[in-house]
Amino acid sequence: MIKKAVATSLLAAIGLASPAVQAQELNIYSARHYQTDEALYGNFTKQTGIKINRIEAREDELIERLRNEGANSPADILITVDASRLAKADDLGLFAPVKSAVLEERIPAHLRTDTWIAFSTRARVILFNKDLVKAEQVQNYEDLADPALKGKVCTRSGSHPYNLSLGAALIEHNGAEKTEQWARGLVANFARSPRGGDTDQILAVAAGECGVAIANSYYFARLMNSPRPQDQKAAEAVSFVWPNQKTTGTHINVSGAGMLKYSPNKEAAVKFLEYLASDEAQIYFADGNNEWPAVPTTKVNNPALEKLGSFKVDTLPMTRLSASVAEAQRIFDRAGYR
């Protein structure tokens, strides 16, 4: 939803301001909604004098808005989550190439493309009920298709970007044929039809409705650090695995951003992207949603991340990951993973 005050400010910036004033403003469309992001935006303005006008909405709504606005769009930056959504915006021609020595130095090559950049990462982990499943049964994503887990697996919808990105990674590592076999085996092992979000899967595992599930790491971190006793109890009933530690490493996804093709304030937009790669901004990203900084040298003091521990990361380039998302959807459809 567009907040009235934000919308009014944005209209003023694009319709009433003189070019000199307009150059000192930046218009952001964001699908991230975390309290710590407020400080992130405020500190950018303090450092640069560039005022930020922001519209927040769901990812698909923002992408559709940008398509409808076309060359008349006032937006300079799109911020969203998941490589598949960033790739969708890129495929639609919404982003402009960005050249920046700062970004090339700070952000690892596998976490950036020519048009969009990842600024935080999250892991897709396996969670299991210790009374129903043994840890050695679920050390890899591929294990979830093992017939020994029949009637024990829970996931959210196969059409959700989080699962499509995992499917795309499996295609890149194992090939399309093996990934389709995996998807069919996964579906055959369902304890119930896919429904709910990642937190729902974790709670179902804790309750014994499922033996094992996959979820993004920050959902588990939220439960572990929740002030609600029932959430803490659920987290204690669940164990988790960093998948594929002896092979490819654990699949990660990202929060990211890119400069838009019709940005009226391109210089300010590049400054903002470079700011997101600063240690200060990287810490805000990590603390806002219990994610890891994209910049490997950033030091984060986050108890939730410390509890999760360290793991081997899959460094599959985001460009390769996003290239296989559409094929992952076709495979999941054929396998009945909906």
pLDDT in tens, 47-92: 999 999 999 999 999 999 999 999 999 999 999 999 989 999 999 9
What's 122-250+319-335's CATH class? alpha beta
State yes or no: 219 annotated in a binding site. Answer: yes
Question: Residue ranges per domain, the chain?
Answer: 4-120+254-299, 122-250+319-335
> What is the pTM for the complete model shown?
0.89
pLDDT number for residue 139: 98
What one-character DSSP code corresponds to residue 220?
Answer: H
pLDDT number for residue 85: 92
Nearest Cα to Cα of residue 165 among 336, 337, 334, 320: 320
How far apart CA 67 and CA 71 sit, in angstroms, is 9
Residue 34 has pLDDT above 80, yes or no: no
State yes or no: 160 annotated in a binding site. Answer: no
Q: Residue holding tokens 């409705």? A: 209
What does the angle CA 335 – CA 337 – CA 338 come to, to the nearest 5 degrees? Answer: 135
Nearest Cα to Cα of residue 170 among 334, 314, 338: 314
Q: What burial letters (b/e) apply to 272-300, b meaning 16+ CB within 10 Å?
A: bbbbbbbeebbbbbbbbbbbbbbbeebee
What's 4-120+254-299's CATH class? alpha beta
State yes or no: 33 annotated in a binding site. Answer: yes
What average pLDDT does range 173-177 have in this prediction? Answer: 98
Q: Which residues contact 12 (CB under 8 A, 6 or more apart)?
A: none
Nearest Cα to Cα of residue 215 among 176, 171, 166, 148: 166
Examine domains 4-120+254-299 and 122-250+319-335 and report if their fold is the same.
Answer: yes
Structural contact between residues 145 and 181, judged by C-beta atoms closer than 8 angstroms: yes
Residue 22 has pLDDT above 70, yes or no: no
Query: Which residues lie across from 27 on neighbouring strands?
Result: 53
Residues 280-306: pLDDT tens digits? 999 988 888 899 999 999 998 888 898
Residue 33 has a CB neighbour count (10 Å cut-off) of: 11
Nearest Cα to Cα of residue 312 among 254, 255, 251: 251
What does the angle CA 263 – CA 266 – CA 271 come to, to the nearest 5 degrees? Answer: 130
Residues 119-167: pLDDT tens digits? 999 999 999 999 999 999 999 999 999 999 999 999 999 999 999 999 9
